[in-house]
Each structure stands twice: as structure tokens, then as C-alpha cells.
Amino acid sequence: MPEIRVGVYICHCGSNIADKVKVAEVCDFAATLPGVAVARDYQYMCADPGQELIRRDIQERGVNRVVVASCSPRMHEPTFRKVLESVGLNGYYFEMANIREHVSWVTEDPVAATRKAKALVAGAVGRVELHEPLEERYTVMNKTTLVVGGGIAGIEAALKIAASGNSVWLVEKEPSIGGNMAKLDKTFPTLDCSACILTPKMVSVAQSENIKLLTYAEVVKVDGCVGNFQVTIKKKARSVDLAKCTGCGICTSKCVVKVPSEFDGGLAMRKAIYTPFPQAVPNKPAIDREHCRQFVVGKCGVCQKLCPAGAVDYDQVDEDVTETFGAIIVATGYQQMDPSVGPQWGYGRHENVLTALQFERLVNASGPTGGKVKMKNGETPKAIAILHCVGSRDVNYHESCSRFCCMYGLKLAHLAKEKMGGEVYNFYIDLRCFGKGYEEFYNRVLDEGVHFIRGKGAEVITDRDGRLAVRVEDTLLGRWREVPVDMAVLSAAAEPRADAERVAQVLGIQRSRDGFFLEAHPKLEPLKTATDGVFIAGCCQGPKDIPDSVAQGAGAAAEALSLVTAGKVKISPVIAGVNEERCSGCKVCVPLCPYTAIAYDEEKKICRVNEAVCKGCGTCVASCPSGALSVKHFTNQQIFRQIEEVAAV
Amino acid sequence: MRYAYYPGCSLKSSAYDYERSTRAICPELGVELEEIHDWNCCGATAIPSVDPTASAVLAARNLALAEATDVNGAEAVTVAAACSSCYAMLTRALNYYREDPAMRGLIGQALAAGGRTLAGTVKVKHLLEIIVNDVGLEAVKALVRKPLSGLKVAPYYGCLIVRPKGAFDDAEQPMALDRLLAVLGAQVVPFERKTKCCGGALMTTKEKSALRLNEDLLHEASSKGADVIAVVCPMCQMNLDAYQSNVNTAYGTHYRMPVMYFTQLMGLAFGLNERRLAVGKGTVSHAAVLKRMGV
């Protein structure tokens, strides 16, 4: 075995490290450590000249192990591994000491910081001597992508993947794709009709040969990893055979059961066999078994008798479909907070207090009133209040800003003014008109004579005359006001969907503090998640307007395509292995493995690790009573050596 | 169910009808009230605005005495307070003691000077909470012999019972009293201003402002057709009842709205004699209510 010659490189990271850690002193110290052939410090080790230092030392000075003391390995470990590989050294002959996040950024005293940096460097030098060369492996990448959620972000992602000639499955929980955007009337700031710009895309989804569309279906299980996700999708019993159904609508028109329409926010009724809205894709109904008389009381059968195609099938059962995918895009969207959680807003108590999504339906020409703004009693309101930040920017509900409400508040104000005349009041904390053309739209709405009252609508009450009134502290006037109106529209917070926790668990996604799905990096990896091959797009990551959701959908498609078109996927060699001599076959590790990568070999009476599935988390290693399990690159010897050297400083 | 009973000053004077009716219904409900020995004023709203520490100490002394009350060996003593102001003051002192180390020190020091200690194990509940949550509405329902059928009642909670944190009900639109009155057979009118302030002690210092608040409450109750306003606090009762004629004078109105304690309405529904409940003690006559009930 050739002599071990370690090269140690201490990074200044500009002033990030050098301001606190005396790098020259650490460098001098490193030079004294056994096995160290070269020790240097440099301004930016990650920059090209820094990398070049390492290359030259490997080539000219026989360095065969490398330690870089700089930042977290999360960012630049792959960078430096590549440097080693570029000059023929195995990338795993490398160790990183984190003296930025773990030292300079969190230590007040420069003396203590320098001492800790030395200890970490000594640990890394001790450890790197024991490193083994490891080879990265590749497996075949499945070329099909799964998109979960058929709102605008999911639709865009599916269409982009299909356009590239790759195949994609789009799974939607509801009977139709379209999501929340399908419910909107106009879109800010250009006032295009939402349905007019969305439905062509929905139709393209249905027509694309590369898209397999599963509506009324949910992802229930995901196994495997990037390149080879085995996904189980539950197709809920629709009770209508989509292959036979022609979408003629006779069943719906003859159905006798009426249920408040989810799509119309309960402002209109739908039937128990229904298509959610006229432009639905697929434009074929589903039976809501919770309300259908055939299922509730066991007799009716009207739709089945009348269906000319014989498509109604009461005996359909939920069906599980299992398929393998290379990548997954999650675009499950958001939900609007139920404002009845705050009784002060009067939602559910006063009949003319509506959510913004309900009001969208009211002003929509295909909505329950044919686009006329009407109160419950059928009269046209003379004054409308739009309350911003209902449950947003409010520590009692959601601390965060819901981001698009300011703009749809302005849009709804414009539409209300246009449709009914009268007075329209916006109650706001701040107006955040951040996008292209948004500030101009605000000015336009101002010019139209909409009133803006700076103050959070605190309460919606009935005043002495029985009229609705919004109580508000007008912070520009500096006084309390009670503004009488006929209708109040609540811009209720956008919040994570009620099933976000379950979806996150099934797909292995983490959630941020606000409950939305967590991206891998808030700036540089907004579409990736902590799980390789699983991407997020649209409002499931946080509230977004339509342009942002579309951009993310397309971006996630590019992310997925960059994986699946590569044809193969790299698997980390840092995985667990069993020492067959030592394994007693006790099976303690089998149920503990979060990836079900360990199986028991009945013949040899030992446990084995499936290398394709193992992620190298180390859970099994910690549990093994006979010390038979170890994870490569994290062996006991390596870790103990590191601890010893750190402790010796 | 045995409680350390803290009556507070009002129930021994201006609100003796509240205490009488409370004392009358509690045995029916299986609620035993053991009056705290040597209790003192809770500090009400006057003291905290002048000296917050002193007010916390005043209330804390009662809590310390309560901890020494015999409640049949139950693990922790629960204080029953009928007055919302007492309830709020005792709760606030307890929260200070539990959550604010500086205040805890001051309270401990002051109590020690009087030879007392507070463990902080005591709980504080309003009588309404005890009846709705501890006794339970099922048990109450079983006791109703003369349902308040046809009686339209506006449930008025006042501002203190659900403040500051809405301990046992929603702070904005509580429902406990609504549900209780419904069980008694009353027709509960939706009373939107149910937690709006009656002005409290402001009636003595800034009467005009306080009358405005009371007029708002009386207006809503009467415009919704209520026969009576049910209250859970002596201060609310006094402002709405005793100052009703002042409201009428100031605003040219003609309200004759009876204002009764919920305990009185419970007693009537239980078929108890109205004299035992001190019904009729109000400034605005209760006769219309009794007539409607056929008493």
C-alpha cells in the first residue's frame, strides 16, 4: 500500500471564515499532523483556482487523500469529489471539515473558534486515512413521469413532458382536472377569462397520446427510489364506465338527488351523478356514493335504466393500479381556509358573507346566478366589502402572507363595480402588487372609484338597521369605523390542503413550518425536494398566482425530463452491507429499515441488504446486536478515529 | 362535585339575587359549594389599573385560602366563581403566578408576609363552565320540570367570561350559555353582541360612554324580540338593568327589558319557587317573564 499523503486546504470563504477563525494558524497546525504532506489556506477553495491547487498537489506532490475545511458538505462535497476524479483519484478519498456553519458562523470567540476548527481538521485528517475507494453505480431510469394533481401547475408539467415525446401519467383526485383555476372568473391583471385560457390546456391533456389521465384517483403508496418508483394508485369507483360513457348528460338531468356543489362553493346544487362543471375533462360523470340514493337507501337505479350507453355500473369497486415511474412531480395545490374558524368574520352566520372563491362563482357567467351579483334574497347589493388578509398575516391563524389575495381582491373589486355599480370597499393591511402589470392594475381600480380603507376588517356584524357592517380601525384616519355594506367577501388564507400530511408521508416530502411542502433550497432548488426524483410545483409549496404556478409546472417538467432522458440514474455507494460471518439472523434490522431494503435469507439464515434500494441511512447499523451491519464510508473505525482525533486537540 | 366557592363582594350585596339563585340550583345539580373562609375582594377592575401587583396579590390570597379549603379530599381544589370579574381576576392572578417568574416572586413574598403560601395547584372556573362542562347539559335537561317554552332569551356573556384566552369557549362567539338556555326549553335569539362590553365600572366615571354601549345591547336584544336578557355577571346585570331608565332618558327610548341571571332562569325551569330565586328583585320588572311562563 502506498504511503498516505494527505493534502489539507483551509478555506477563508472570503471573510465568512477568516473573520473568526485564524486560518493561517489552523493551516500551520494541519501541517504538523501525521500523514499530512501539504497544508494550504486559500480565499475561495470552491473557485477554479482553489480547485486547481488541489489538482496540482495530487499530480505534482503525490497527494492521495484530500481534506477541505470550509463549508457544509451539502453544497460542495460533490464539487471536490469531482476535482479528485478529474485527476484520477477516487472521489471518496476526500473528507470535508465544516468550519463555517459549525464554527465561524456560530462561535463568538476567535480563540475558541480557531481551536474548534483545528479539532475538526484533525478529525478529518484522521478519518480520511481510513477511507476506502468507492464506486458510484448506475441503474436504468424508467422513462415515465408521474404528475400528482391536475390543477394548472400539474397540467402544465404534464403537457410539457408530453410535448418532449416522453410519457407521463397525470393523477387527479377529483372527477375532473382543472383545480382551483377552473373556478375563477377573470384573471388579474389582464382580465382574461380563466376558463378560456385553461380549457384548451385541459383538452390538450385529454387528447395527448403521451399523457395517461387518471381522474377520481389517488396515490396511496410509493416504494423504491429515483429512477424506479413503484407507485400504487387507487382508482376510486366512479360507478361510470368511462369507455362506454358518451357524456350525453341524461343521467345527470334525470337524477333526483341534489347536493350542494363543491365547485360552486355550495351556492348551487349539483346532482349525485355529476360532472363538476361544464368544461370538465373528462366530460363524463361520476357517482357521489355518499349521497346517491342507490347507495344510501339501496334503490333508485334511474341513471342506470336511462343511460343509452349502458355505462352506469353500480358494482364498480375501488381498484389499485401499480406502475413504475422514473420521476414524480407533486402539484397538489392549496385550499382556501374555512373562515368560520374565526366567528368574528361572520361566515356561516350571515348569509351574505362569502369567501372569495364563492364570489368568483357569483360573478362568473357560468356560475349559479349567471354572473349577476346577487344577495341571498335575490337583490343586487348596493355596497360590497372585500376583506383582505382573513386568516393571513395573523398569528392566530396563518402567520404567512397568502400572496395572491391582494391582487384578486383588486380584481374582484373591479368585477363587482363593473357588474353592479354601487360602492366597493377594500379593507387591507398593505397592498402587495408585486407582479408585472400589477401596480398599474391597482391604479386602474383606484381610478374606477373603488374605496380603499387601510385597516384589517376586524369584524362583520349586523348594524342597528340589520344591515351588514364591517368594523375596522382605519389606520389612516386613526379612528374606528363601522362601514355598512350588503355583502362581505372574505379573502380567506390559502393554506395547505387538509390531506397534505398524508401526501407528504406517502411521497417522502418534508413540510415547512407553515405546513406547505418544503423545497430542497429556498432559492436555488425551488422545485426539488429532499427525496431525489420527487419535485414540487405550484401552490403545494406555498401560495402562488397563475403565472408562477405555470412557470413552476414547466420548470418541474424540465427537472423531471433532465433525469428521465439521461436514461440512467446514479446511486450513491454509501450503503449498508452485512458481514455474513457475524450475522446471527435475528432479523431486528428488517422491520426498522425505512426503505424495506433488508430481507431475510431463509437458506443461509442471515439478513441481506438490497443495494439498489438501500439509502445508507444507518438505522440498521445502530440496531444490529452483533455488529454485523456497517455502512460504507461511515464505518465504526472511521467514526471512532475521527472522534479520537477531535478529542485529542 | 365539591368546589371552593368564591362569592365576591357583589354577590353579598347588589347581586344577592345571583347568590340566592345560585345557592338554590346548585344542590339540585349535585354541586356543593364550600365558601372560602375569610375571603377578600378580588381587586375587580379598580385596583389593577392603579397597582397591578397589589391586585394580583389580593386575588392570590383568595387562591391560597382556597387551596386550604376542604373539598372532600379531591386532588386539586377548584374555585367556583359566579361573578365574571372575580373569575377573570382570579384566573389572571393564577396565570401570573404560573407563567411570570417575576410576578410569582412578588406574590409569594406578599403572601409569606401574611403567613400564607400558594402552591398553584388550584383551578378556577366560572359557574357557567361548571354547569355546562362538569355537570353537563344532559344532567341539566333531566332536571327541567317547567321548560321555558316560548320565552325568547338573549344570551349575554359580557366581555370578561371568555377573556383573555377563551378558556372554556370561543372568545368571539361563545355558545355555552346559548346551549344551556336551549336545554331549558327557551327560544334562544341569536345575539350578535353577546361579548360586547357593558361598560363595566365606566358607568360611574364616564356615564355617557357606558350608556351608549348599553343602548346598543338593549337595541339588539329588543329588535330581535327578546323577552329577557340572560346574564352571567353582576356588573352586566346592574348596568343593563339599573341604568336602563338612564338609557331611555338619554336616547328617548322606551326599553322595558328584564335582565335576569341565568341561574334564576335555571331555577324557574327546575320549578323552584321564584322567591327562593330572588326573582323580581330587578329594577325592570320580571312580571312579563313570569307571566309568559305562566308562573
| pLDDT score recorded for residue A74 | 84
Domain count, chain B: 2
Query: A424 pLDDT exceeds 80?
Result: yes
Q: Are residues B103 and B149 in the same domain?
A: no
Query: A1 pLDDT exceeds 90?
Result: no
| pLDDT score recorded for residue A611 | 83
Q: Output the nine-digit C-alpha cell for A543.
A: 401560495
Q: Residue-wise over A587-626: b if at least 16 C-beta within 10 A, else e? A: eebeeebebebbebeeeeebbebeeebbbbbebbbeebee
Q: Are residues A104 and A181 in the same domain?
A: no
Tell me the mean pLDDT in the region A606-623: 89
Domain count, chain A: 4
Q: Are residues A341 and A439 in the same domain?
A: yes
Asked whether residue A98 is domain-assigned, the answer is: yes
Which of B172, B188, B196, B216 is the best residue to mutate to test the A interface, defined by the most A CB atoms within 10 Å of its own CB? B172
Q: What percent of chain A has pLDDT over 90?
A: 93
| Structural domain of A408 | 335-495
Distance (Å, rounded) from C-alpha A136 to C-alpha A50? 25
Q: Are residues A41 and A100 in the same domain?
A: yes
Distance (Å, rounded) from C-alpha B139 to C-alpha B134? 10
- Measure in Å the smallest separation between the Cα of A380 and chain B Cα atoms: 25
Contact list in A for residue B216 (CB cut-off 8 A) is 464
DSSP secondary structure letters along A278-311 = TT-SS---EE-TTT-HHHHTS---HHHHH-TT--
Number of H helices, E strands in chain B: 15, 8
Mind listing the pLDDT tens digit for each residue in A115-124? 999 999 999 9
Taking CB atoms and an 8 Å limit, are A461 and B193 in contact across chains? Answer: yes
Q: For residue A232, which of A244, A223, A241, A245 has the smallest C-alpha distance?
A: A223
Q: Are residues A364 and A484 in the same domain?
A: yes
Question: Is residue A188 within 8 Å of A407, Cβ to Cβ?
Answer: yes
Element (H, E) at B241: helix B234-242
Q: Are residues B113 and B189 in the same domain?
A: no
Mind listing the pLDDT tens digit for each residue in B184-207? 999 999 999 999 999 999 999 999
Mind listing the pLDDT tens digit for each residue in A126-162? 999 999 999 988 888 999 999 999 999 999 999 999 9
| pLDDT score recorded for residue A610 | 87
Tell me the mean pLDDT in the region A61-77: 94
Q: Are residues B199 and B256 in the same domain?
A: yes
- Measure in Å the smallest separation between the Cα of B24 and chain A Cα atoms: 35
Q: Residue type for B63, please?
A: L
Q: What is the pTM of this model?
A: 0.82
Q: How confident is the model at residue A198 (pLDDT cuts 50, 70, 90)?
A: very high
Asked whether residue B183 is domain-assigned, the answer is: yes
A172, HSE (Cβ side, Cα atoms, 13 Å):
27
Distance (Å, rounded) from C-alpha A54 to C-alpha A39? 10
Distance (Å, rounded) from C-alpha A592 to C-alpha A624? 10
Q: For residue A271, which of A261, A263, A284, A281 has the smallest C-alpha distance?
A: A261
Q: How far apart are the first and last CA of chain B?
A: 31
3-state helix, strand, coil in chain B (%, to 5): 50, 10, 40
Rg (CA), chain A: 31
Q: Are residues B171 and B102 in the same domain?
A: no
Q: Are residues A317 and A353 in the same domain?
A: no
Task: Give B134's DSSP letter.
Answer: I
Q: What is the CATH number of the domain that holds A62?
A: 3.40.50
- Measure in Å the smallest separation between the Cα of B123 and chain A Cα atoms: 26
Q: What is the CATH number of the domain that holds B163?
A: 3.40.50.11810
- Measure in Å the smallest separation between the Cα of A353 and chain B Cα atoms: 15
Query: A163 pLDDT exceeds 70?
Result: yes
Query: A98 pLDDT exceeds 70?
Result: yes
Contact list in B for residue A466 (CB cut-off 8 A) is 223
Asked whether residue A203 is domain-assigned, the answer is: yes
β pairing state of A217-225 and A211-214: unpaired
Question: Is residue A343 within 8 Å of B173, Cβ to Cβ?
Answer: yes
Distance (Å, rounded) from C-alpha A348 to C-alpha A568? 55
Asked whether residue B134 is domain-assigned, the answer is: no
Asked whether residue B132 is domain-assigned, the answer is: no
- Measure in Å the smallest separation between the Cα of A344 and chain B Cα atoms: 6
Q: Are residues A448 and A504 in the same domain?
A: no
Taking CB atoms and an 8 Å limit, are B173 and A344 in contact across chains? Answer: yes
In this complex, the residue of A344, A459, A464 whose CB is nearest that of residue B219 is A464
Q: How confident is the model at residue A204 (pLDDT cuts 50, 70, 90)?
A: very high
| pLDDT score recorded for residue B74 | 67
Distance (Å, rounded) from C-alpha B243 to C-alpha B248? 9
Element (H, E) at A507: helix A500-507
Q: What is the CATH number of the domain that holds A279?
A: 3.50.50.60
- Measure in Å the smallest separation between the Cα of A394 and chain B Cα atoms: 16
Distance (Å, rounded) from C-alpha A47 to C-alpha A33? 26
Total residues belonging to chain B: 295
Q: Tell me which of A512-516, A539-543, A621-625, B67-71 is least confident.
A: B67-71
CA distances from A324 to A169, A222, A569, B8 (A): 11, 10, 15, 72
Distance (Å, rounded) from C-alpha A587 to C-alpha B5? 61
**Closest chain A CA to residue B169:** A343
Q: Are residues A189 and A321 in the same domain?
A: yes
Query: B4 pLDDT exceeds 80?
Result: yes
| Structural domain of B179 | 144-293
Please tell me if residue A343 touches chain B, with a CB cutoff of 8 Å: yes
Question: Is residue A596 within 8 Å of A613, Cβ to Cβ?
Answer: yes
Q: Output the nine-digit C-alpha cell for B291.
A: 307571566
Query: A168 pLDDT exceeds 70?
Result: yes
Contact list in B for residue A462 (CB cut-off 8 A) is 192
Residues of B with CB under 8 A from a CB of A: 170, 172-173, 190, 192-193, 216, 219-220, 223
Contact list in A for residue B197 (CB cut-off 8 A) is none
Please tell me if residue A349 touches chain B, with a CB cutoff of 8 Å: yes
Phi, psi of A442 (to 5 degrees): -60, -45
Q: Output the nine-digit C-alpha cell for B203.
A: 358607568
**Which of these three, B68, B100, B126, is where a domain ends?**
B126
Q: For residue B79, which of B89, B90, B95, B92 has the smallest C-alpha distance?
A: B90
Query: A97 pLDDT exceeds 90?
Result: yes
Asked whether residue B131 is domain-assigned, the answer is: no
Q: Are residues B155 and B287 in the same domain?
A: yes
Q: Output the nine-digit C-alpha cell for A502.
A: 398524508
Asked whether residue A283 is domain-assigned, the answer is: yes
- Measure in Å the smallest separation between the Cα of B205 and chain A Cα atoms: 22
Q: Are residues A297 and A374 in the same domain?
A: no
Contact list in B for residue A464 (CB cut-off 8 A) is 216, 219-220, 223
Question: Is residue A116 within 8 Å of A103, Cβ to Cβ?
Answer: yes
Q: Are residues A270 and A384 in the same domain?
A: no
Asked whether residue B137 is domain-assigned, the answer is: no
Q: Are residues B150 and B282 in the same domain?
A: yes
Asked whether residue A112 is domain-assigned, the answer is: yes
| pLDDT score recorded for residue A569 | 85
**Closest chain A CA to residue B217:** A464
Q: Are residues A66 and A84 in the same domain?
A: yes
- Measure in Å the smallest separation between the Cα of B172 and chain A Cα atoms: 6
CA distances from B37 to A396, B4, B45, B55 (A): 40, 9, 23, 19
**Which of these three, B126, B156, B174, is where a domain ends?**
B126
Taking CB atoms and an 8 Å limit, are A349 and B219 in contact across chains? Answer: no
Asked whether residue B133 is domain-assigned, the answer is: no
Q: Are residues B118 and B154 in the same domain?
A: no
Task: Work out the angle between the directed axes of helices A152-163 and A194-207 (0-180°, nearest 10).
Answer: 40
Taking CB atoms and an 8 Å limit, are A343 and B170 in contact across chains? Answer: yes
Q: For residue A258, which of A289, A286, A283, A292 has the smallest C-alpha distance?
A: A292
Q: What is the mean pLDDT of chain A?
A: 95
Q: Is the alpha carbon torsion for A357, A360, A361, A362 positive or negative? A: positive
Asked whether residue B228 is domain-assigned, the answer is: yes
Distance (Å, rounded) from C-alpha B71 to C-alpha B97? 22
| pLDDT score recorded for residue A137 | 83
Taking CB atoms and an 8 Å limit, are A464 and B216 in contact across chains? Answer: yes
Q: Are residues A530 and A584 in the same domain?
A: no
**Closest chain B CA to residue A340:** B173
Q: Are residues B45 and B107 in the same domain?
A: yes
Q: Strands (DSSP E) along B46-146, which ranges?
A: 78-81, 123-126
Question: Is residue A580 within 8 Å of A558, Cβ to Cβ?
Answer: no
Q: Are residues B55 and B103 in the same domain?
A: yes
Q: How confident is the model at residue B75 (pLDDT cuts 50, 70, 90)?
A: low
Q: Are residues A311 and A406 in the same domain?
A: no
Tell me the mean pLDDT in the region B30-51: 92
| pLDDT score recorded for residue A594 | 79
Please tell me if residue A339 touches chain B, with a CB cutoff of 8 Å: no
| pLDDT score recorded for residue A614 | 86
How many CB pairs (< 8 A) connect A and B? 18
Distance (Å, rounded) from C-alpha B215 to C-alpha B198? 9
Please tell me if residue A86 touches chain B, with a CB cutoff of 8 Å: no
Angle at A99 between CA A94 and CA A103, to 5 degrees: 155
Mind listing the pLDDT tens digit for each residue in A210-226? 999 999 999 999 988 88
Q: Are residues B81 and B30 in the same domain?
A: yes
Q: Are residues B174 and B271 in the same domain?
A: yes
CA dihedral B133, B136, B137, B140 (to 10 degrees): -130
Q: What is the CATH number of the domain that holds B61?
A: 1.20.1050.140
Taking CB atoms and an 8 Å limit, are A349 and B190 in contact across chains? Answer: yes
β pairing state of A487-492 and A36-42: unpaired
Q: How confident is the model at residue B97 (pLDDT cuts 50, 70, 90)?
A: very high
Asked whether residue A391 is domain-assigned, the answer is: yes
Taking CB atoms and an 8 Å limit, are A342 and B172 in contact across chains? Answer: yes
Asked whether residue B82 is domain-assigned, the answer is: yes
Element (H, E) at A534: strand A534-536
Angle at A145 between CA A142 and CA A150, to 5 degrees: 165
Mind listing the pLDDT tens digit for each residue in A459-499? 999 998 889 999 999 999 999 999 999 999 999 999 999 99
Tell me the mean pLDDT in the region A50-61: 97
Q: Are residues B98 and B217 in the same domain?
A: no
Residue A530 or A256, more confident: A256
Asked whether residue A101 is domain-assigned, the answer is: yes
**Which of these three, A82, A103, A136, is where a domain ends?**
A136
Distance (Å, rounded) from C-alpha A27 to C-alpha B92? 60
Mind listing the pLDDT tens digit for each residue in A345-394? 999 999 999 999 999 999 999 999 999 999 999 999 999 999 999 999 99
| pLDDT score recorded for residue A590 | 92
| pLDDT score recorded for residue B45 | 83
Rg (CA), chain B: 19
Phi, psi of A615 (to 5 degrees): -105, 0
Asked whether residue A645 is domain-assigned, the answer is: no
Which of B173, B214, B218 is the best residue to mutate to test the A interface, defined by the most A CB atoms within 10 Å of its own CB? B173
**Closest chain B CA to residue A347:** B173
Mind listing the pLDDT tens digit for each residue in B257-285? 999 999 999 999 999 999 999 999 999 99
Contact list in A for residue B219 (CB cut-off 8 A) is 464
Q: For residue A380, which of A486, A469, A470, A451 has the smallest C-alpha distance?
A: A486
Long-range pairs for A245-250: beta carbons < 8 A, 24 or more residues apart: A245/A284, A245/A285, A245/A307, A245/A309, A245/A311, A246/A308, A246/A309, A246/A311, A247/A275, A247/A282, A247/A283, A247/A284, A247/A285, A248/A308, A248/A309, A249/A275, A249/A285, A250/A303, A250/A306, A250/A307, A250/A308
Query: B172 pLDDT exceeds 90?
Result: no
| pLDDT score recorded for residue A386 | 98
Asked whether residue A570 is domain-assigned, the answer is: no
